Structure 1
């Protein structure tokens, strides 16, 4: 073993040592000094210390044809504008570089060519000062471990690392970069096989961190971690080409920061982004299958974006807590079982999701707060997928659109002044909308579908429901409202074998239905029911072999029906006082109207209009109570009217035009009034009255 100590003041030092187990130490003090030192052999060590400005230390340990092992180099420079450059070959070697001062440069090149042998190399580089640069380049072949650690304290500094590993999946590479200060930059790149790790930490303002990993054939279990604390910082990750089971984690704390991560991995990889502060930006782009994305932001005026081009079983999860935040997600080209989840807590937030070409996939959005907006779009070959939206608070808006089959949309809102819209195309779709609160509005639309379903429920006052179906078959609309001053509208156009149902509980409500647009449907159904006071219900149907049922319970209610077509039926029933029922059937045969009223001061009106085929129609009317009135008009042949009144001060007015018609009247009570008119031939009137006399 040999130990050499050299101490110089202001000169050029050049030497070369070829031996084993040597320890060399060089101390220099001065300006523009140069140390050039070469060391060959095994188990050597070198310590170089330079004090002063514009000094240079050039160290070479080993050659490609003369590698070294178990060798260490420790270089320290104190001053400004200094340069240290180290080249080292083979494994189990250590390098330490320390510089204190400004505008210094530290660089190292490490090469390990050992095959089928496990080795370990480490590099530690530290700089304290401003406008400094650190560079590390390493290349390894074989089952080696290479660790590079870089540290800088100060402003306007730069870190650079390039690591290359090949030929072995057992190799391990590690990069650690730590910067404290402002306007610093850290760059790390890993290329090759095996287990690769990059860790970057920055504390300060206006810093930048860039990390890249990729393989020429295969890279497994690779990770990148970036941590930044401060404002106006930027972090970027790229993992691409043949990576597998990769992991990216980014964390930022501060304001006006941005981060981005891109993975082009085979499968089973994930990206996690976490930001705390205001006006931050997070972006993710990911390719592959069985992938995961997680984004979290705490603060205001933040933006998070995720784009997945995946095959199957991949997920995106986004969470924001604060006001005026924005989430945006795109998931495309999937083969199935992909999911997207968004959650926002706060006010004036926006969440947008788009899914393309996915099968059996799902979207789930949740917003808590006021003046929020949620949007879901699923289209281009999507099947058996579902979109779920939940909002709690006031003045929120939910929008969902599906261009898909066998899929569903669910929208749930709690609060006041909320709006929800849902659009669905193609068959076997289902839309479910629920609102709890006042002054809310919900709309649903289905097109070109068979066995489509729309279900809408509202609980509260001054709400509006609207549901529409176009070019659908075997489909249904169901609407239910609990509260007062509500409005419900349903419409079906160009449909057969479909149904609509409306139910309202409360006062001053309005429900209306339009089924058909002039082209007659087949076997359509309408059912409407109301409970309360001052309600209004109406239905219009263009159909054959169809029926309408209306029921109202309460006072000052009105029910109205217009029905056009053949073989149709109308059934109306009211319980209460001061109610009105109207029904009209036109352009058809074999139709029937059945009306019932229970209470006082009620009015019944029925009309079957004439046309050349107006035959075999039936009107049946029943009233029980006092001060009621009944009016009937029927035109055509082989028609019949049956009217029954029970009570006092009732009025009956019936007119028939045509031949072979019949009227059957039954009145019970006092002070009854009636007017009966028949125009035509072979008509019959059967009149039965008790406890009263007619007025005419």
Structure 2
């Protein structure tokens, strides 16, 4: 015969009672001092709760009600706390793993199916929050390494969504929201100290946001609202940079932005857009980009290298194309494209040069090349159709103006030297 010890008999009795009650299972393993592990299972048929604690003064709580799910909590260290609630779920799982001291984690899953949440925190004083509600086959993954970081993921009503957040460093904040969205993805990576990164997807389908931020005290936020099959890809590195990307209303849009250096600022908006593409590059310090697209089938490729340059570009209408580059200090581009099928291109090299482009007709072409020098001004205005204007400048203090208010005109201006003034008006 087998001899069963009293403790073993007690464990078997508890497991047996759980099995007879609703086939739920709970396991708890504690090594250390003053740890607290609490499991509450109510009408949790087929559910499993596991708590493992190594260290001191850790606190773990799992609540499972009217669910068939799995919850796992692991504490390695001291003074960590984790709470997990699963209610009215089927096939969902939650994992909270904390290594270090003073870490906090909370996970809420309700009214969902086959969804997962994972929180991994390594370091001290980190916090992680997850809220999944009415999600089907969605995934929330959060990994933090360092001290005093905060991460939050909310997934509210949807299916097939993924939110993956990785933070490494100290005092960083990251948050991802997916609400009323399906088959959408957020991938967020953040490295450094004191950074903030936020990604929001609202009523978006099959859309993707990818964020990489590396540096100190920088801010980055992206918004995808009422988007279908759109993409945001952003990369920011350095210190004290700011970037905001907003896609509101539309489909098949691409916003791609890279910003490196210090104290740069970029605001990129695609509003009520269809198949628009914007590619923005800023490298240096104190550069500013203001990018706006509305309409359809636009393409914009702009870049700034240096210090205190500014890009102010707006595209409305249909099928407009703009490419421009700045290299130097204090250069300014102001460009507005309306109408349709217009093309603008150019470059500014030097110091304090300015370019102004205004196109409101159709099939116009504007080209500007400021090859060298400083304080040059080139301005092209096209308000009709099938016009062509080109300005070439090199030197100091030159000014060139081309105004085309009629159709099918051509204007060419070349300036080499200093203090020249040229004006071409065609009606």
- Return the TM-score normalized by structure 1: 0.36
Partner in structure 2 of residue 154 of structure 1: 77
Partner in structure 2 of residue 310 of structure 1: 226
Distance 2:222 2:109 in 1: 24
The correspondence for 1:112, drawn from 43, 46, 57, is 43
Partner in structure 2 of residue 286 of structure 1: 201
The correspondence for 1:129, drawn from 55, 78, 82, is 55
- Is residue 2:233 matched to residue 1:334? no
Structure 1 residues 256 and 384: alpha-carbon distance in aligned structure 2, compared to 1, 3 A threshold: same
1:277, 1:298 within 8 Å by CA — same for their partners in 2?
yes
Partner in structure 1 of residue 155 of structure 2: 239
Partner in structure 2 of residue 13 of structure 1: 7
- Is residue 2:419 matched to residue 1:508? yes
Report deviation, 1:384.
Answer: 12
1:256, 1:281 within 8 Å by CA — same for their partners in 2?
no
Q: How does 1:20-39 map to 2 (within 5 A)?
A: 35-38=10-13
1:287, 1:308 within 8 Å by CA — same for their partners in 2?
yes
Partner in structure 2 of residue 204 of structure 1: 123
The correspondence for 1:230, drawn from 138, 146, 150, is 146
Partner in structure 2 of residue 31 of structure 1: none
Distance 2:7 2:216 in 1: 59
Distance 1:125 1:309 in 2: 39
2:196, 2:217 within 8 Å by CA — same for their partners in 1?
no
SS of 1:473 mapped into structure 2: coil
Q: Any gaps of 5 or more consecutive residues in structure 1?
A: 1-9, 16-34, 40-58, 69-85, 89-94, 115-122, 168-172, 513-525, 528-546, 549-696
Distance 1:278 1:441 in 2: 36
1:420, 1:443 within 8 Å by CA — same for their partners in 2?
yes
2:145, 2:168 within 8 Å by CA — same for their partners in 1?
yes
Partner in structure 2 of residue 660 of structure 1: none
SS of 2:66 mapped into structure 1: strand
1:213, 1:239 within 8 Å by CA — same for their partners in 2?
yes
Partner in structure 1 of residue 287 of structure 2: 372
Q: How does 1:539-688 map to 2 (within 5 A)?
A: none
- Rg comparison, structure with higher value: 1
Partner in structure 1 of residue 262 of structure 2: 347
Partner in structure 1 of residue 111 of structure 2: 192
Distance 2:388 2:124 in 1: 59
Distance 2:170 2:136 in 1: 39
Partner in structure 2 of residue 87 of structure 1: 25
1:371, 1:395 within 8 Å by CA — same for their partners in 2?
yes
Distance 2:204 2:100 in 1: 39
Distance 2:171 2:18 in 1: 48
SS of 1:427 mapped into structure 2: coil
1:442, 1:465 within 8 Å by CA — same for their partners in 2?
yes
Report deviation, 1:496.
Answer: 1.3
Partner in structure 2 of residue 615 of structure 1: none
SS of 2:378 mapped into structure 1: strand
Equivalences, count? 404
Distance 1:430 1:490 in 2: 15
Cα deviation 1:370-396 (Å, max 9, x = unaligned): 3536374748xx2599x9x9x9x9442
Report deviation, 1:181.
Answer: 0.7
Partner in structure 2 of residue 18 of structure 1: none
Q: Any gaps of 5 or more consecutive residues in structure 2?
A: 369-373
Greater relative contact order, per chain length (Cα 8 Å cut-off, separation 6+): 2
User: Relative to total residues, which structure has the larger strand share, 1 or 2?
Assistant: 2
Structure 1 residues 499 and 289: alpha-carbon distance in aligned structure 2, compared to 1, 3 A threshold: same
- Return the TM-score normalized by structure 2: 0.52
- Is residue 2:32 matched to residue 1:101? yes
